[in-house]
Chains A and B, each alone.
Chain A
Amino acid sequence: MRNKLPLLAKTVDSGITGKAVCRLLLWIPFAFFLAPATSSAHLLNMTEIHLDATWPDSVNLDIDIDLGQSLMTAEDYWIAASSDSNKQAEALRPIASKIKSGLQVKVNGSVVGFELDSWQLTASSLQAIKNPFSPQMAELFFKLKSPIPADASVELLINDQLEVPWPALLRVDHAASPLPASRLLTERERSSRPIFFGEKAAATEGEALSTKAVLAVQALAPGLEWIALGFQHIIPRGLDHIVFVLGLFFLSIGLRQLILQVSCFTLAHSLTLGLATFGIVSVPASIVEPLIAASIVCIALDNLHSEKIARWRLVMVTLFGLLHGLGFASVLSDLDLPPQDFLSSLLLFNLGVEAGQLTVLAIAFLAVGWMQRWAQYAKRVARPATITIAGIGAYWFIKRVSVI
């Protein structure tokens, strides 16, 4: 430590010590060039607004503001701060009125009035009030005339008639929210915009129309999100399942037979998915994943060597379904199914998977299915596609085995 400047009561106000005097003399030549930018002072005495609706029936609005540098003259503020409470009340009446007409609190879109309840005026000296670098803050405590309901939107707006030291930091506490909400109001952005609490917060989380639509549908049918997740695990995420289903498609069998196979496949993978999710069966991904790839090769090779569907084909598809279900299990464990709705969520997830698979088939029908009566279909479409499926499966198999 080089030195200590002792703190005497008077130095706080005067701000000058012996050493400081010497330094003052040193700095005088520069002083003219070192004048702070005009906006600087506003940062030191920025306004803080706290809307506290922790108890919805008794809502407080607290404003921490440098009155002597904004809504009052420094002299008036000094007199008020030095006076008794009756005179302070008289001095603050027009100030409270200015604030009430310039600051709007909107609850669910309607303006809610407020009244000054108490205050705390602090000032160490008139000189300190005048000094923009020594903010002497006043605390004004207002009470809202109406409660703020549990599900509410709250907006705070400072109109052009009210100039406060900017920026103004707004904090809103609400019983429905574990965390406060904060907004920064500036000379340019004078509104907090609506802040939502309770159910309104959930309904407005994310302003995208699609999000709102999903939330609306969810409200009508809460299980729909599990169907959507199941669907997404086929399209676009389940590439190996898509390839497998296409393998079934390209055997060129009838629609009824195809749906039967796909349904057996779905039932089988639902079974292992359920068993794996309950922890009854557990097979490491290092084994399941190469086998899934092998199943794709198998189904494709069977296509290439079968003119018509063999009886054991349905058994084979079912067995492969059991295998694919084990592959899904690892995905589902990441989804965190709700314990209270475990079975229904699992069922809905599987419904989504089934819908995804049927969609793949529908797209395949639209793309090439309508050509099935063409004499060259098997040679020009089904066979090349099946060879491609077998090639993809073979590559996945080699890749997944080599990763082990």
Chain B
Amino acid sequence: MKKNSAGFTNIKTIVSIALVAFCVAVFDVAFSALKEPPLTFPLDGRASGTFPSVWIHGSKSAMDNTDPAVQVHAYNDHTFILRENKAINYEGVFMYLFFGNGVAMLIDQGSTSSPALFPLREVVDKIIQEWEEQHQQSDIELIVANSHLHGDHYAAWNQFVDRPNTIMVGLTHEEMMAFWGIKSYPQEIVTYDLGGRELVVTGTPGHQGSELAIYDGWTDLLYTGDMFYRGRLYLDDWDAWVASIRKLRSIADQNPVAHLVNNHIEMTAEPGIDYPIGTTWQPNEPPMQMTLEMLDQAVGATYEVNSPGIYIYDDFLIYNQIPWYTTTDP
């Protein structure tokens, strides 16, 4: 009788243990299901995106402009393109916000320092907050980086200095390259892991001696900064630019490219004609994004141009080694 009782106790114990194990398993599975799976950024295939049909492009009267200081366009769920209002600064620069798991990277900070005129930090914080809500992430890190070291691309850098959970990439060549892990500028091509999103980064001097190009294998966007865009390509170092453009072509040969994206629009829709420097109103702007055919034109230019001067192409002007303010404009 005692033996039966002990056996019954043993069975009870085993059932209890199994029940606890089952409950822990259910809890574990439920908890895992509640957790949002990490975002994935596969390199095969292409994460598509859209551009606005027309960017906000300033106004006849800059003083009376009522457009937002920063235009925000979601290229896709994890890629945002921002543009500074041309009425605030004629440069009308494009800035980029790339998201990965637990991290976002802001490339460039516009041409205006004053947060009252140009509240970039506020806008970026809002985008991040909405993105976090949408993708069940919280307290993601922000990296504030630059395509190159010209003042019209980092004027609002200071707005982020006191931001919590933020990495400020310094504004010197050495600090920039240390951040990206580029030891041999500009030749080296490095891969940067932005929370599972692979960015290929390399030096592309010519316009400025610290310039970088970024290839995002998830969207197939090739970001060319100020060294190649629809506008006046001011080149201090022709030989460096030649090598950079040819390197971009080589990257495009080895990787699928959806669009070339960049920092400014200075060309009109009419081939070979640019807006005057300093304009705060650009009606009938062409798209910002460029094509591989345009890159091929630039590669062609590297064989055609052989002396300082202004060279006019349909979609860009080459200002080779001349004072940049020497323009064809009034």
Contact B112 A39 (CB under 8 A): yes
Which residues of chain A in 369-393 are interfacial with respect to chain B, using CB atoms and an 8 Å cutoff?
Answer: 387-388, 390-392
B18 on interface, CB distance cutoff 8 Å: yes
Mark each residue of chain B from 251 to 273: 1 if its CB lies under 8 Å from any CB of chain A, else 0: 00000000000000000000111
Q: List chain B residues, Cβ under 8 A from A189.
A: 158, 161
B20 on interface, CB distance cutoff 8 Å: yes
Neighbour of A12 across the interface among B151, B174, B323, B328, CB < 8 A: B323
Which residues of chain B in 96-132 are interfacial with respect to chain A, using CB atoms and an 8 Å cutoff?
Answer: 111-115, 117
B interface, by DSSP: helix, strand, loop or mixed? loop
Contact A15 B327 (CB under 8 A): yes
Given contacts A133-B278, A188-B113, contact A392 B20 (CB under 8 A): yes
**CB closest residue in chain B, given A3:** B312
Instruction: Tell me the smallest distance from the CB of A306 to a CB of chain B, in Å.
Output: 13
Q: List chain B residues, Cβ under 8 A from A2.
A: 271-272, 312-314
Contact B330 A31 (CB under 8 A): yes
A interface, by DSSP: helix, strand, loop or mixed? mixed
A219 on interface, CB distance cutoff 8 Å: no
Contact B323 A180 (CB under 8 A): no
Which residues of chain A in 21-59 are interfacial with respect to chain B, using CB atoms and an 8 Å cutoff?
Answer: 23-24, 27-28, 30-31, 33-37, 39-40, 43-44, 46
Whole-angstrom distance between the alpha carbons of A399 and B28 in the complex? 11
Q: List chain A residues, Cβ under 8 A from B117.
A: 39
Whole-angstrom distance between the alpha carbons of A2 and B300 in the complex? 12
Contact A184 B13 (CB under 8 A): no
B137 on interface, CB distance cutoff 8 Å: no
A20 on interface, CB distance cutoff 8 Å: yes
Total chain B interface residues with beta-carbon distance under 8 A: 68
Binds B, one of A79-87, A166-174, A346-354, A355-363: A166-174
B31 on interface, CB distance cutoff 8 Å: no
Whole-angstrom distance between the alpha carbons of A179 and B158 in the complex? 20
B309 on interface, CB distance cutoff 8 Å: yes
Contact B178 A179 (CB under 8 A): yes
Neighbour of B170 across the interface among A12, A30, A34, A179, CB < 8 A: A179
Which residues of chain B in 282-325 are interfacial with respect to chain A, using CB atoms and an 8 Å cutoff?
Answer: 300-301, 304-305, 307-314, 322-323, 325
Given contacts A37-B88, A391-B17, contact A184 B171 (CB under 8 A): yes
A182 on interface, CB distance cutoff 8 Å: yes
Contact A43 B91 (CB under 8 A): yes
Neighbour of A182 across the interface among B151, B172, B309, CB < 8 A: B172
Q: List chain B residues, Cβ under 8 A from A44.
A: 151-152
B215 on interface, CB distance cutoff 8 Å: no
Whole-angstrom distance between the alpha carbons of A37 and B314 in the complex? 28
B154 on interface, CB distance cutoff 8 Å: yes
Q: List chain B residues, Cβ under 8 A from A131.
A: 325
Mark each residue of chain B from 2 to 45: 1 if its CB lies under 8 Å from any CB of chain A, else 0: 00000000000100111111111100100000000000000000
Q: List chain B residues, Cβ under 8 A from A217.
A: none
Contact A4 B21 (CB under 8 A): no
Mark each residue of chain A from 170 to 214: 1 if its CB lies under 8 Å from any CB of chain B, else 0: 010000000111111011110000000000000000000000000
Known: A33-B61, A39-B89, A391-B16. 5 other contacts (CB 8 A): A4-B312, A5-B309, A7-B310, A39-B117, A183-B171
